[in-house]
Amino acid sequence: MSAQPIEFVQVRFKIGLPSSNSAQSIQQSGASRVRNRVLGTYLLLAGSVIGIGLWRAKPVRGASKTPSKTSTAHWSQQAAASYLDSREVWWQQWPRAQKDHGTICISCHTNVPYAMARPALRQQSSEMAAPEKIMMDSVEKRVSHWSEMIPFYSDAVHGPGKTAEAHATEAVLNAIILASYDARQGHLRPITRTAFDNAWALQEQTGQRAGGWKWQDFHLGPWEAGESAYQGAALLMIEIANAPDRYAHEPAVREHTDRMRDYLRRQYATQPLMSQIYVLWASSKVHGLLTHAERKTLLLTIQSLQQTDGGWRLYAMDKKPRLDHSPEPQGSDGVATALVVLAMEESGTSHRDKTLQRGVEWLEQHQQKDGDWLATSLNKQRDPQTDVGRFMSDAATAYAVLALEKAHSSTTN
């Protein structure tokens, strides 16, 4: 336990959120129900998205109303929404993502970034896009019937320790997703409190990971590897700091967050740069995560790694040899650039900072015609035009949306 209780800086958002649908029966049909709902989304709403001119984004099955036109002039919110919705619909249809009780696997590369970013693309509307509703229903069902749910991976099929890893990882990700939505609504729902309780019950109490969680580790960076537990804890800390109704200040919660802060502080120096950048993101919301010297050193490191075109590359932030021994891409990518820009913005870096400005300009200039920002696998060479090859671009696009919306907010306030 830390000597002083953790101090949070509360940040509030306000966007309407429909009430929970988690009361639906656990006995409803399984994977076929997911497929039927997703297919219904395609058939009912496929024609609702109007072409977006020069962007020529793919039509999205299940997209909501056209996003508001509040973004910067050099990127398309509508194209980004179209891409993200299309990818979420594909994920929900993918057989490998369909799980027990008619629910859907939660992925760090597609679902979690989608849940965090998609509401920013419907600022004037409380109505979720159809893929959002399906995703939220699935998460809420798994949370409300937690004891009956089968972990996504198991010891029997995937090796020793995988059941516990999957259980803890999902508990944290469920809490991140639901808390992210509630922060925009301005009220913490009972289902989100339950998700937090599920995560707290699995928080490590002793050893090197005390304050953190077991995490899915298949040696696949950045989200299923040794450092991934640290990133997950940092993201959860961000959502706890943003949680409404002063959740972070409740005494029982503070005991857990004190342990989290101690864990993030204790492990910081041994983490790859990408993990440290998540802590930079959280540092303005949670006092004591970074010292002044650590923050200064981290920002100087980030500045030194900025490429000549203004972007960053992920391989400079999480250095591992690729599993297939293929050469590492040398160009800037959407994940690294968007994450750096977002973390700098959230940590209070001035929008006049030249390093930040160049990063924002890179994002504005590198949205693709399909609405996405490109990024490639850390682990092996993949065809970026395949569905699996787009996983990193899913995260890149969501983080880019958050970064550019933050940039717009900073320059207009």
3-state SS string for 184-200: HHCCCCHHHHHHHHHHH
Q: Which of 77, 60, 55 is nearest to 121 (CA)?
A: 77
* pLDDT recorded at residue 146: 98
Mean pLDDT score, 37-55: 42
Strand partners, 224: 220
285-318 pLDDT, tens per residue?
A: 999 999 999 999 999 999 999 999 999 999 999 8
Q: Which helix (H) or strand (E) holds 298?
A: helix 292-305
Residue 44 CA, distance from chain mean position: 28
Other C-beta atoms within 10 Å of 126: how many?
12
Helix axes 190-201, 162-185, angle to 10 degrees: 150
> So where are the chain's domains?
291-413
Mean pLDDT score, 323-349: 96
**Taking a C-beta distance cutoff of 8 angstroms, is the pair 314, 222 a contact?**
yes
Coil, strand or helix: which one is 48? helix
**CA–CA distance, 275 with 259 (Å, rounded to integer):** 18
Coil, strand or helix: which one is 98? strand
* pLDDT recorded at residue 347: 95
* pLDDT recorded at residue 123: 63
pLDDT higher for 111 or 409?
111
**CA–CA distance, 128 with 46 (Å, rounded to integer):** 16
Residue 128 sits at φ, ψ, to 5 deg, of -75, 150
* pLDDT recorded at residue 100: 97
**CA–CA distance, 240 with 263 (Å, rounded to integer):** 15
pLDDT higher for 22 or 268?
268
SS (H, E, C) 21-42: CCCCCCCCCCHHHHHHHHHHHH
Mean pLDDT score, 239-264: 98
Listed in order, strand segments (DSSP E) in 252-348 are 286-287
- Least confident range from 52-66, 240-254, 285-299: namely 52-66
Coil, strand or helix: which one is 289? coil
Q: Is the pLDDT of residue 29 over 60?
A: no
Q: Which of 273, 372, 382, 371 is nearest to 329 (CA)?
A: 382
- Listed in sequence order, the residues at least 6 apart from 157 whose beta carbon sits closer than 8 Å to its beta carbon are none
Tokens representing 166 are 């999957």
Confidence of residue 321 (pLDDT cuts 50, 70, 90): confident
Length of the chain: 413
**CA–CA distance, 19 with 190 (Å, rounded to integer):** 11
171-212 pLDDT, tens per residue?
A: 999 999 999 999 999 999 999 999 999 999 999 999 999 999
125-174 pLDDT, tens per residue?
A: 678 999 999 999 999 999 999 999 999 999 999 999 999 999 999 999 99
**Taking a C-beta distance cutoff of 8 angstroms, is the pair 290, 280 a contact?**
yes
Strand partners, 220: 224
pLDDT higher for 37 or 166?
166
**Taking a C-beta distance cutoff of 8 angstroms, is the pair 202, 168 a contact?**
yes
Tokens representing 397 are 């696009």
Instruction: Enter the pTM of the model.
Output: 0.85
Q: Which of 279, 260, 245, 243 is nearest to 204 (CA)?
A: 260
Between β-strands 103-104 and 7-8, what pairing exists: parallel, antiparallel or unpaired? Answer: unpaired
